[in-house]
Amino acid sequence: MAHYDRKDRDEWRGFKLGFPYREGLENLREKVLSNKEFDPAVLWVWGTMQATAVIEILKACEREFGERGQRVVKEALRGVGLEVGRQILEGVEWPEGMSEAEMASFYATVINCVAYASLEDPTIEGEDRVSFHILWCPHQDNYGAFDCRVQRYFVQGMLEALKERGWLTDWQVRFTRTIPAGAETCHFELWKAPGEEAFLWEKYSEELERRALRRAAAEEPAGEREEDA
């Protein structure tokens, strides 16, 4: 059983969310991973190079162009996240009897374990709240805590893909700790957010953007403080 197949819910058997970039993924499985001489661990090296390039592009644009450069990169990343979310949801219908909490947890699993190639430990805590621990993330040994802000833009787009379908429109997400900031696991919560809570993810992203611009202007080292995650 693949690490992204949920084992804790019998009613999810047969229900599948989609995979992004399906054609290339199948090509990889059929022509590359079947080659016993190919070491799949080098995909981590390739992916880390791409991820490092993304954060360096963002930092360079913040230094050179300030808020405008930051916005251009942010919108590009959000657009990629939106397209990934659309591909995950393509052709999917909400299963009869599946609760919002179950859908939120299931969608998070596909994002965590497929889009982010991570290992997770998910929990459905109640009708209005779910959570998960990231046990291993491909970025954890290379990204600093402040670098993880890049992932917020991908996630924003993925959440927008849900809302385009009219699903989980009043749900919100936040982190409580991250591995790059020194924690043993990354821990995230998703919950049905009333009122102003519905904008916490966006508001904290904006705060990180302001902090990043101040640092870019002063050429201040990003550091590894937990509050920077």
Spell out the domain ranges in the chain: 16-228
CATH class label, 16-228: alpha beta
The residue with tokens 């920077």 is 228
Model confidence at 195, pLDDT cuts 50, 70, 90, reads: confident
Residue 164 has a CB neighbour count (10 Å cut-off) of 13
Span 138-150, average pLDDT: 93
pLDDT > 60? residue 222: no
The pTM of the full predicted model, rounded to 2 decimals, is 0.89
Per-residue model confidence (pLDDT) at position 9: 67
Percent of the chain with pLDDT over 90: 79
